[in-house]
Structure formats: C-alpha cells, structure tokens
Amino acid sequence: MLTFINPGLLWGLAGLAIPIAIHLVNRQRAVPLSFSSIRFIKRTTLQQKNRRSLTDLLLLLLRLAFLAAVIAALSGPRWEPEPKGLLASDESAETVVFVVDASSSLSGWGGWEEAVEVFRTRLAELSEDTAVGLVVFGTKVLAEVAPTRNRSEVENTFLTMYPEQTEGVSAVGIKRALELLGSAPGRRIVVLSDFQVSTWQSELLPDVDPETRIDFVGVGDFEQPNLSILSVDSFASREGGTRVIARVKNDSSETAEISVRLQVRGAELEEAVRFSPGQIQPVAFSVSEGSGSEGRVFLPDDTYLEDNEYGVWMGSSPSINALVVIPVEAEPEKLDEADFVSKALSVEILGASNPYFVNGADVSVDIGALIGKIDALYLAGSVSYLSEEQMGDLQRFLEEGGTVFVSPGKMAAKQYQRLREQGLSALTFVGRSKNAAEKGVPYHVGWINPGSDLGKLFDEEAAVDLYQTEIYRYIRFRAGEGAEVLLRSENGDPLFVRERIGKGTLLTSAWSWDTRWSDLPLRFSFLPLLRESLASAIVDKEGTIRLHCGDLLSPTDLPEGASPSDSEYFLLTVEPNVFVLNNKPFEVNVSRAESLSQRVVLSDVRAQLFQNAKTVPAVEPVSALNSNIRSLWPYFVLAAVLFYLVETVLSGYVDNRSSNEVHA
Amino acid sequence: MAVTKQDLLDPAYLASLNDFQLMSRVAVDGFMAGIHRSHSHGAGMEFLQYRNYSPGEDLKYLDWKVLAKSDKLYTKVFQEETNMNCYFVLDTSASMQYQGSRAACSKLHYACMVAACIAQSASRQGDNVGLFAYSDHLHESVEIGGRLGQVDHILRALTRLKPTGEAQHESMLQTFLRHFKSRGTVIYISDMLEGEDVLPKLLRNFRVNKSDCLAIQVLDPDELDLPQNRVTRYLDSELESEVTTYPETARADYEKRMGAFLERLKEGLAQSQVDFIQLVTTDSVGVSLAKYFDHRGPR
C-alpha cells in the first residue's frame, strides 16, 4: 500500500491545474454539451492542425508528469505491505447447496430434464474444494444431502429423484438449505425450479442473511402448449343417468382440436372438442348407467401429463327436503309467498348444489313427526299461530340440526316474542317501518355481510341487483347476542339474520318474501339468496370431499382412533384416487395450481428473501504490520528526471519543426 | 390573467406544476373541456341477450322471472366489458435527459407527462393501465390493473424515473413481451434515436400478439435542427464518445441524416403496422391526447 511521510505536501498536486488551465485557454474553446445521440453529427475540420495539437498534448502530459513526480518525491512516498484480515484465509472456501423443486409441474414443460442437465453442468463447474449439499422439495423435503466433498453421493441422490404429484412449497426447501449451510464460509444456494407462481408466491419464505449468495436457475419452457382439466363435476340428470362436466383449459396460443375421453366402468365415451387459445370450455358427457361409480376424464398427452387426468365421484348428491308452512285460514295472502318460495326451491337446476324436494302444509302440521324427515322448514308468518307443543317440537327440530326460515306475517310482534320466550332467538321486536307508499321512497339493502356466504355469493357485480331490490316495508328488530346479521338496510336496521341453535340454524327475515312487501321475488337475486342461504345452513348434506395429492385426510373423516398418518390412510391420497371412506366419497387429484404456466418475478422473490437482511458488521482488520517498509522517493526522482529529458527532446523537436515550417 | 384551455395543454405550464397527479388532471380536464360535456358514470353491465342455461353455470345469472313463468332455464348474457388493457412502455435511457434551450422540460419529463395524461384519461374510460420503464435494466414496472389508485401507482412510478444507461431495446422489450399475456394497447414512448432497425421488428411482436401498438417518439427541437452557434464538443449521453464540431458547417448534413433516419423509422414502423406519432417537447400535450383518442377509436 502506498503511503506518504508528508502527505500534506501532496496538496502541491493542485498546482498541476495551472498548466492544464493554460493549455485549455490556449486551445480554441469548444463548449461541451451532453447530447442525445451524436451519430448524425459529422466532425467538421477544426482550424488547428490535429498532429500539432497531439504533440502539444503530449508535451503537456510530460510537464504534468514531471511536476507530479517531483511533488510526490518530496512527500516521502513508501510501500507498506497490506494488513491481512481475519477472514482472509477462508476467502476461497465455498459451500454450495442445490435446492431442487420437485413439485408436479417440473414433470412437464421439459423442466426436470433441464434441471438434471443444469445440475450436472453446475456441479462440474464447482472447484474440488467446494462442499456440495442437496435439498429436493415438494410439499416437504423429499431428499437431502448435507454439504460434503463426495460429489457422487450428491449426484446419485439427485438422479434417483423424480417430481412428485404434489404442490411445491418453496419455503420448505430454502429453509432446509439454510439449516444445512449453517454458518459455513462462502455460503451459496443454487435454486433449480420452474419458478411457477403457485410454488413461489409464498409469504412464508425465510429470511436470508446477506452473506449467503442465492442463484436462481429457471428451468422448463412454459411457452410449450398445454391443455389441462381444471375440474370435473357430476350431476344426476333429469333422465335418470348422470351428467359429467369437465372444465378444460387450453393454455396455449394455438387452437387445439382434441378428443376428451371419459372412462366409467370400463366403458369409454369420447367428445371431440375445439379449443381456442386461452379458452376454458366445459365438456359434457351423458352417462346412462347408474350412479355410485368412479369416472375418469382424460386428455391426450401433452407437455404436462399430470393434469390430463381427473378422477370424479359419480354418486348423486343427497336431496334436501323442505316444507313450507303457512297459516292458510288466517293469512291466505301468504299463499303468494309460499308459491314463490316453493317454485324457487323445487326447480331442478343441474350443476347447482343439492336438489330440493318441497311440500306445503298448514300451521296445524305435526312438526314433531317431521324431525329426521325434513331438512328445512319455511315458516311464512306461521310462528304466531303454532301451539306450545309445536313450539317445543320446533326447538327440538332445530337442536337436532334442522334449518328454519322465518318470515313475518300480520302478528310479527308476537312471532318475535314467542321465539324469544322459547329461547330460540335473540331478536327483539322494535316496530314496523313506515310504509314506502307513505314515505315515497322504498327501502333498500345497504350492506351485505362480507364475511358470510352471502357476501361471497353476491360479489361486486351480482350485489348490484340485490342493492336495487325495493323493500316497501319491513319489521324493525334489534339483533341480540349470537345473532349474525347477514343483510342490513341502508339505515343500518338488520334485515336478514342467522342464529345457531344446537346443531340447527334459524334464519329470520325482516320482511315477507312476497310481492306485497318487496319486489325481491321478481328479481334475479331471489333464487340464489333463498337457495344458497338454505343450502349453506344445511351442513350435513355436503357432497364429495376433494383433496390434492399429498394432502392428509382430516381426522374427522376417519374411523375413531385412526390417525391420518397411518399408512393405510396416508397411501390413499398419495396418488390420484377416488374412494369412499365412512360413507363419504373422496376425490384425490393433482393440484391444478401446478398447471399454471406463469413464472413468478424473480426479483420479487429475491427481495422477499433478503427483506430483513441487516448489514453484517465488518470485521476489524488486525494490525499485523511488519517492518518491511520500502522508501520509494528515489524512483519518483528518477521518473522526474526521465520526464524532464523526454520533454526537453520533444520540445526541441517541435521548435525545430515550427521554424522549418516558417522557413518553408 | 385567467388560464385558458390552450395554457392547460402547454408543456411549459404543465411542467411548472411539477406534480404528475395534478398535471395530468389539469391537462385531461383541459382537453376534455373541448370534446365532452361530461363523462358519465354507471353500471358497466349492459344486457345483451338470453341464452339457454348450461349445467354448472352460476345461479346468480339465471333469469328467475322467466323460470317462474315458463319453467325454462335461461341465463342473461351481458355485454362484455369493453375496457381494455393499456400498457405504457417507456424508454428511460440517458438520451431522454436532454433538454434544449427552447424546451420547458427534458424529453423524459415530457414523455412522463404524455404517459400520465393518457393513463389518466384511459383510466377514466375504465381501461386497465400498466407501466414498464427501462433503459439497460428495468427501472419501474406497474402490473396492469384497473382498480382505484392504479393511476396513482403509475404516476408515483413516473416520478421516480431517472434517465440513465444505454437503451437495450432488444433484451428489455423481449423481457416485457415474455410477461405480456393479455391483449390490449401498447403505448411505446421513446426518442427511438438508435432504434430504426430494431424497434419496428420488436414492436411488431405486439401486433403479432393481436395488440394495438402506438409508438410515440419524443424529440427535443434541438435534435431536429442543431441550433448551437459556436464550436461545440458534443458528448454522447449513452455511448462514451464525443465529437467536436462547428454546428454551422455540420448543420445541413445533420438535418439530412436525421431526416433519413426518421424516414427509415417511419417506414419500418408502418411496415410493422405500428402507429407512429412524433412529438416535440414544445408541442401541446393535447396533440398526444388527440392522437391517442384517434388511435383508441374503433378499429
């Protein structure tokens, strides 16, 4: 390292500016201008002779160098050896851990083959001293080798692996790699992955310290066209058979004409379909055989095979039995409401949730006898007319898991009072709203509980219709503790409330669902509002349970005493499978998140990994100077002399040439 | 003195506002005052037709009234949303820093004003907007979106832009193209000074992807006529080279070469079916808005 005994004298170097200034003044001054592009500007010949200016420049440099050498020599220059830091000896050592994504998507788009190739190349490039480790991950760590100099162990472990049919959880792999690296010197992680969004858009990525280097190596070509079955649903059809509907996506920029096959009980159905680029299209099959069997939908082979097959349970969904109860004699106008409701419930809609069977009855119906046979009771203004015994039965019906829908009638105050006294409801009657005819402006729904099923059903655009519903009058009540308000009016009054009683659900509407109270029955929103609020309440009628490969079964679905990790149950969900367990049908398929042909932005991943990285405190250099210091001033003196001689010769030559030109 | 509509679109006035949010609103309002009385708000869904219900469709689109009357399942079909994706691709290379004596702002600032104005008006029409600004690396990127505050995102990103580096059109536009999925309009804003060969080829890719492409060239008036009047050492802002010349003697040749370059660029872009607008930093911003609306019109 160059040091000086009298560094203050170096200020003398500022004196060098003087000859430069003189030189610049002597030149014809050209104004410097930073310009967008000089490619169109032609150099026009300056009036000076270029060669002359070149020798001038050389002379200037020689004079500057002479002065600089003299000043430097006077400052007492000397050479001191570099001090060595503590870490200097470890600089060359490196520990590399390969983190390899073995999620399902790697088996497609040429990802795994490329990963193997890249791995071999990268491994060969590393120096022999480098310790190499390996982590292969899917949803969990599938294989690992702690950093070692035994390359063949790492290579052999890697080559025995192949992508699983599970999703990828990148955080798991990175975390394990950091654990394996520990505090080894020269830490480096090489990630081989297709960087698919579903694997890498995770908030769980661990923090990486800034000393660790991470290389991202993307493999696989998502440009290759791929068709995938997104989901398959089966419904009992009107004609008695089963309809199977597969949603298929053409994830490419070209039109595809393929045949989609459904295999069921050895028979095979085939549909030729044309898919436009990027299109998602339902493909329907009609199966005449009875239900209760397993079906499989296939696409022809393409770059990613795992999403070309989908197993579906073709059993029927259980139907929901509903009974609409009205006070026929006391309030015959309630027939209107019963008509609308039973019509809306009984209509058979393929593809919708469980089908309904609807009956009607007068208030004298024996509710006790219906327990176990009826799933939902629609009490249209009927509560006030029920006997004490019927109220007791109603309570039992609810506690055992029934769903009751209550709408107000003429005697609304009594209705709320009776439900309250029976301990079924926490709603308190406050009064009746003014009739919209008197007020001049109808009431509207002003708020849909965003956390409820209705909030999800009536998303932004669908909610518009519900908000536009005109309610001419309603019952004002206060919702007590335990009542979940689903809808509120514009001025905040609860309009539709859900309460849980035992295993059952009580739904209370503040207005009667007929055309005298509101225009709801004539609106779009009526059907979904009624059916979905009832269906979401009837939890026991769930259909098929859908799982992804690698998911564990929920303990509640298993026989008592069994654990999801028992090999008997664990193996059920390892590969795509359709089975029945405890009378519940299960569909296990490869997660379709793995079919997304979209890469994450790598700079985002990097930013996330290093987001909490703090700068590591620098290691204090140890003063290990020895006495091996050499004085350099003689060299500078020698250089000054040399510059002076050359300058003298050159200036003599220039003078000579100028005088010759003058003579000429 | 009252500010007139012409003032609202004058780059000197807009540059003095020094805030893209304010500037773009002023300019768009100034422009709109001339062509629209007001912009209407309302539900964007327009009923189009009925069609048979197919299994698996969402219940909420089922026409319940028809069902109740006739027992037939019909679904209401609504007019597709007509909003489109509008991507701004901005060149922020060092050459965009140039500001001549006649201009009120640098080329980059002007380009940002143009982008801000178009983004503001596109967003008002309900279009989705996104930004990609690059030179030799990615400077700013705002994902396409149409949510509230999307324009603010873009305007904030524009504020952060600094002209540096050499324009790497090929690699950066290829990068952008890889992430470019959905169709829309790509508005490419640059001085395009070195790109007469490469840009038409690259911008053609957007046309191939069935997107519209509008190339806006922003130049400083100095770049068209080389007005300096004394010997000048021109330093290339992107390449490390310089040339010292007498502009008086070099001017005629410069204008000829520049003209040839512009001809070649226009020809190339026309062949690639890319619309081309040349703006000079002294031009009214209204010109760019008018050309944009002309381009945005039905094709």
Q: Side chain identity at B203, as an amino acid letter?
A: L
User: How much is the mean pLDDT over chain A?
Assistant: 82
Across the interface, whether the CB atoms of B194 and A37 are under 8 A apart is answered yes
Choose among B56, B68, B194: nearest Cβ to A233. Answer: B56
Contact B233 A32 (CB under 8 A): yes
Distance between B39 CA and the closest CA of chain A, angstroms:
21
- Angstrom CA distances, A527 to A20, A463, B57, B72, stand at 90, 13, 14, 14
Structure tokens, A337: 């409401």
Question: 């003087």: which residue's tokens?
Answer: A18
Mean pLDDT (whole number) for A19-31: 70
From the list A37, A347, A531, which residue is nearest B193 (CB)?
Answer: A37
The label of the residue with tokens 């609304």 reads A412
Domains of chain B: 5-36+82-296 (3.40.50.410), 49-78 (no CATH)
Structural fold of domain A320-541: Rossmann fold (3.40.50)
Which top CATH class is A226-316? mainly beta
Cβ(A167)–Cβ(A197) below 8 Å: no
Note whether A46 contacts B231, CB cutoff 8 Å. yes
- Answer whether A32 sits within 8 Å of B235, measured CB to CB: yes
Candidate from A35, A42, A243 with C-beta closest to B98: A35
Which residue, among A41, A223, A280, A285, would best test binding to B if mutated, counting the most B CBs under 10 Å from its CB? Answer: A41
Structure tokens at A485: 């308000």
Q: pLDDT digit string (tens) for B265-290?
A: 999 999 998 889 899 998 888 777 77
Q: Which residues contact A395 (CB under 8 A, 6 or more apart)?
A: A422, A423, A424, A501
Write the CA distances from A242 to A288, A657, B52, B247, integer angstroms: 6, 107, 20, 84
pLDDT at A452 over 90: no
What pLDDT score does A609 carry? 83
Which pLDDT band holds residue A623 (cuts at 50, 70, 90)? very low
Cβ <8 Å between A243 and B55: yes
- The pLDDT of residue A653 is above 80: yes
CB contact under 8 A, A351 and B55: yes
Q: Which residue of A has its CA nearest to B239?
A: A37
What SS3 state is found at A223? coil
Q: Do A33 and B56 touch (CB under 8 A)?
A: no
CB contact under 8 A, B59 and A347: no
Residue A617 pLDDT > 50, yes or no?
no
Q: Chain A contacts of B254, Cβ < 8 Å? A: 40-42
Tokens of A457: 């059903």
Give how far A384 is from chain B: nearest CA, Å.
29
| Residue A443: φ, ψ to 5° | -85, 160
Nearest beta carbon to residue A284 from set B55, B65, B97: B55
Window from A390-399, B25-34, B206-215 with minimum mean pLDDT: B25-34
Q: Which of A63-72, A601-610, B70-79 has the lowest mean pLDDT?
A: B70-79
Contact A36 B241 (CB under 8 A): no
In one-letter notation, the amino acid at residue A415 is Q
**B232/A33 Cβ within 8 A:** yes
Instruction: Tell me the CA distances in angstroms from A629 to A1, A58, A207, A638, A639, one per residue in order.
Output: 10, 34, 46, 20, 20
B62 contact residues in A (CB cutoff 8 A): 349, 524, 527-528
- Percent of chain A at pLDDT > 90 equals 12
Chain position carrying tokens 């994706």: B85
> A527, B64: Cβ pair inside 8 Å?
yes
Query: Helix, strand or coil for residue A568?
Result: helix
Min CA distance, A508 vs chain B (Å)?
22
SS3 of residue A347 by DSSP: coil
pLDDT at A262 over 70: yes
- Whether B129 and B145 have beta carbons less than 8 Å apart is answered as yes
Task: Give, as one character, the DSSP assignment of residue A85.
Answer: P
Distance CA B205, CA B191 (A): 19
Tens of pLDDT, residue by residue over A386-438, are 999 999 999 998 888 888 999 998 888 899 999 988 888 888 899 888 888 77
**CB < 8 Å to B47, chain A:** none
Q: What pLDDT is recorded for position B212?
A: 83
A28 contacts B241? CB cut-off 8 A? no
Instruction: Quote the tokens at residue A120.
Output: 């071999």
- Supply the DSSP symbol for A408: -
Any idea which of A152-156, A269-273, A436-440 has the lowest mean pLDDT?
A: A436-440
Q: What 3-state DSSP class applies to B131?
A: strand
- Dist. CA B67–CA A28, nearest whole Å: 92
Query: Which residue is closest to B246 within chain A, CA to CA?
Result: A44
Q: Is A431 exposed, middle or buried, given 0-12, 13-18 or 19+ CB atoms closer than 10 A?
A: exposed
- The answer to whether residue A243 scores a pLDDT higher than 70 is yes
Higher pLDDT, A87 or B215: B215
Domain A94-222+599-609 and domain A226-316 have a common topology? no
Cross-chain Cβ contact A527/B57 below 8 Å: no
Q: pTM score, two decimals? A: 0.43
CB spacing of B59 vs A243 below 8 angstroms: no
- Of residues A507 and B55, more confidence is placed in A507
Q: Chain B partners of A531 at a C-beta cutoff of 8 Å?
A: 59
pLDDT value at B58 more than 70: yes
Domain boundary assignment for chain A: 2-81+637-663, 94-222+599-609, 226-316, 320-541, 546-584
Beta bridge partners of A589: A548
**Integer Cα distance of B75 and B55 in angstroms:** 11
CB A126 within 8 A of CB A132: yes
Give the whole-angstrom CA distance, residue B256 versus residue B226.
Answer: 12
Q: Identify which of A31, A352, A526 has the shortest CB distance to residue B64.
A: A526
Residue A449 has pLDDT above 70, yes or no: yes
Q: Indicate yes or no: CB of A524 within 8 angstroms of CB of B76.
A: yes
pLDDT confidence bin for B95, thresholds 50/70/90: very high
Instruction: Label the pairing between strands A504-509 and A403-407.
Output: parallel
Distance of CA A572 to the CA centre of its chain: 27
pLDDT digits (tens, 9 = 90+) for A51-85: 556 777 888 888 889 989 998 888 888 887 665 44
**Which residue, chain included where needed, has tokens 């949603």?**
A247
ipTM: 0.78
Which residue in chain A is spatially nearest to B76 when comparing CA positions? A524
In sequence order, what are the residues at sequence separation of 6 or more whose Cβ sits closer than 8 angstroms to the Cβ of residue B272?
A: B200, B201, B203, B204, B207, B213
- Please tell me the predicted confidence (pLDDT) of residue A85: 41
Which of A417, A430, A349 is CA-nearest to residue A406?
Answer: A417
Chain B residues closer than 8 Å to A522 by CB: 64-65
Residue in A closest to B163 by C-alpha:
A36
State which CATH number among 3.30.750.24, 3.60.15.10, 3.40.50.410, 3.40.50.300 fits the domain covering A94-222+599-609. 3.40.50.410
Beta carbon pairs, A and B, within 8 Å: 140
Q: Which distant-in-sequence residues (6+ apart) come within 8 Å of A571 by Cβ?
A: none
Name residue B87's beta-bridge partners: B130, B186
Q: Does B40 score more than 70 pLDDT?
A: no
